[in-house]
Amino acid sequence: MMTENYRLEFTQEIQDKLTTAALEAQANAYSPYSNFPVGAAVMTQEGSIFTGCNVENASYGLTVCAERNAIAASVAAGHLNIFAIAVVTSAPFVARPCGACRQVICEFSSEDRPATIVSVASNGDAVVQTINDLLPDRFNLL
């Protein structure tokens, strides 16, 4: 069991593990409208991994992104602190999380220990950033 003081360090091994989990989740994406399947894998501060895929809807506003589905699975299991997230797409370029997903990632990532985000293209190219890089002026009510 990990203690409260346990601090994960982002490594290539963690990046590979999250990318693999995100690729597995991507296989379950429901994207008949955009044909843009996305998979995501979230690692919590405790080291647990939760996955999600995008689920589209004919009423486009009801579509839910892979990142938010992975985070929802984490929250449903009682894990509120995101350490890292990998997002994989079928695009030949690196596609980063949308604005809504960035805000949700912020909700479950502290400013002093920001979540690491790995965005991975179909050809394996990857960009590693923190949520503070992607959303420097996060919205907060607390």
CA 17 from centroid of its chain's CA atoms: 13
CA 75 from centroid of its chain's CA atoms: 13
> Is 67 among the catalytic positions?
yes
Q: Which of 9, 13, 56, 67 is catalytic?
A: 67
Q: What are the tokens at 108?
A: 């479950």
How far apart, in whole angstroms, are the C-alpha atoms of residue 124 and residue 142?
Answer: 38
How far apart, in whole angstroms, are the C-alpha atoms of residue 129 and residue 117?
Answer: 5
Q: Are 126 and 25 in contact (CB under 8 A)?
A: no
How far apart, in whole angstroms, are the C-alpha atoms of residue 18 and residue 50?
Answer: 9
Q: Are 18 and 41 in contact (CB under 8 A)?
A: yes
Residues annotated as catalytic (active site), given as ranges:
67
